[in-house]
Structure 1
Amino acid sequence: MMKSNIISWLQEGNITIPAVLLSEYKNLNINEFELVLLLNIIAFLEKGNEFPTPEELSSRMTISISDCNEMLRKLIQKGFIEIIDGYTNDGIRFEKYSVRPLWERLVDRFLMKNKNSKEISRKADETDLYTCFEKEFGRPLSPFECETLAMWMDDDHHDPIIIKTALREAVISGKLNFRYIDRILFEWKKNGIRTIEQAKNHGQKFRQKQQQNRLVKEEPNPSSSIPFYNWLEQ
């Protein structure tokens, strides 16, 4: 009899909860008592008891039935659980708990953290971009130039990496000015160029074409340099 009871106890099974709930419950302003109450509700739901009573829930915890009632009320008010209507196959109405609001709050938390992480990364890229421009120009940027950089990113939605690539193109071409860089970015956007690799391929194709045209029109001169892309003439 004792062995049978132990086996039944072991067969109660496990509950499935996201590990992120354990790492984020504090940031959601859930205390340890509320967390254990939520876990017990999830356990009852997974076993088919969709509306456990305060008595059933408190029997698994170290809180009284009245405290359990109060905690359930607060969890509903705070938007972590909700009571929804359900219907049997015979059309009989009943109530049940749903922890969907809890999962939604966790998803919102994840999306917010991800957004903040991207924002931090973007600000770092922007700072690095301004530093690159000032290094190449050999001076601090003017307010107008800073505004132009901001417009390229915010209005034209150019990635900072692409702007850096356009800067390098201008340096290589010996035309280090914002008008020239703006023209490069305009042409790249028009041609759907969004990556460094696409930009390199685009410039390489142009230079190969220019070299072929030059070899046809002039005497071959192996030592002559390959012309760079003059974006202002496009």
Structure 2
Amino acid sequence: MQQFINAGQTTVSSLLLAHFHELGITNDEFLVYLELKSFYDAGNHFPDMATIAQRLRLSSTQVYQIIHRMIQKKILTIDTTQDKQGRSQDQYDFALMYRKLATYLSQQNRQVVEQKSSDQRQALFEQIETEFGRPLSPIEYETIAAWLDQDHYQADVIGLALREAVLNQAYSLKYMDRILLSWERKHLTTKQQIQREQEKRQQRQPSSGAAAQSSTEDIPQIPMYNWAEPDDDDKQ
């Protein structure tokens, strides 16, 4: 147990372990990386190649070839530094590999965000078509795309504007656009901000008496407020 403790540990990033193949690193190259890192963590930054070969059950020539490939792939460099006495010292450096991993992860995250945005866009188109009860025209597609790309309205905010338009039986993008502009003027840019504003408006509404409630029992519910007054053609 004491020998186990004294031997120390080599820590490897789980991200690197999961994605080293995507970086173009082979199994043999990754094993060499692990060996070099174990020595590096122990303070030996440039271990003898014969020692690495012995531990991996490979020849020194094979280890040399693997390291040469890693240098060609720009996942390993050999840097030369000077100690306090001015003597030159070589050391293995895997900074390029870590940068490659960071770049790969950044690209993956960007692709996920782009795919999510594309899915939200398609879902928004389908939601509006469902509520309007008809396919959207090419111009309407362009209008919605402009809301997303040029005005930078969030998809869920446009969804709230759609809900307000439907509640007011105004099935048009023109009406929705007036709602969105009204929210923008009030600096309401997120779904949460708009919902809080709606709650405040509802709380400011005067409470109805029992008689008034009884007299309006058979009246269909309508929105408690309008963000915009629809034109006659908005309700067509």
Residue in structure 2 matching 1:203, options 198, 202, 226: 198
Partner of 1:14: 9
Q: Which shows bigger deviation, 20-29 or 44-53?
A: 20-29
**Alpha-carbon contact 2:168-2:223 (below 8 Å) kept:** no
**Alpha-carbon contact 1:203-1:229 (below 8 Å) kept:** no
Where in structure 2 are the equivalents of 1:5-44 lying within 5 Å? 7-8=2-3, 11-44=6-39
Q: Which shows bigger deviation, 184-193 or 35-44?
A: 184-193
- Structure 1 unpaired stretches of 5+: 1-5, 216-220
Residue in structure 2 matching 1:122, options 94, 117, 121: 117
TM-score (norm 2): 0.81
Change (3 A) 1:189 1:74: farther
Residue in structure 2 matching 1:152, options 141, 147, 172: 147
Where in structure 2 are the equivalents of 1:1-234 lying within 5 Å? 7-8=2-3, 11-206=6-201, 211=205, 223=216, 227-231=224-228
Q: Which shows bigger deviation, 27-36 or 196-205?
A: 196-205
TM-score (norm 1): 0.82
**Alpha-carbon contact 2:165-2:171 (below 8 Å) kept:** yes
**Alpha-carbon contact 2:76-2:95 (below 8 Å) kept:** yes
**Secondary structure in 1 aligned to 2:8?**
coil
* 1:14-70 Cα shifts (integer Å, max 9, x gaps): 101112222212222211111100001111110111122322321221222122112
**Alpha-carbon contact 1:42-1:99 (below 8 Å) kept:** no
* 1:122-146 Cα shifts (integer Å, max 9, x gaps): 2221111111100111100000000
Aligned pairs, number:
221
**Residues in 2 aligned to 1:15 and 1:226: alpha-carbon distance in whole angstroms:** 64
* 1:170-220 Cα shifts (integer Å, max 9, x gaps): 1122322111211222232333323323112323445666x56xx9xxxxx
**Secondary structure in 2 aligned to 1:168?**
helix
Change (3 A) 1:175 1:207: farther
**Residues in 1 aligned to 2:56 and 2:154: alpha-carbon distance in whole angstroms:** 54
Q: Which shows bigger deviation, 67-76 or 9-18?
A: 9-18
Coordinate RMSD, CA, aligned: 2.7
Deviation at 1:11, TM superposition (A): 2.3
**Secondary structure in 1 aligned to 2:91?**
strand
- The higher relative CO (CA closer than 8 Å, separation ≥ 6) is in 2
**Alpha-carbon contact 1:85-1:96 (below 8 Å) kept:** yes
**Residues in 2 aligned to 1:87 and 1:189: alpha-carbon distance in whole angstroms:** 61
Deviation at 1:161, TM superposition (A): 1.0
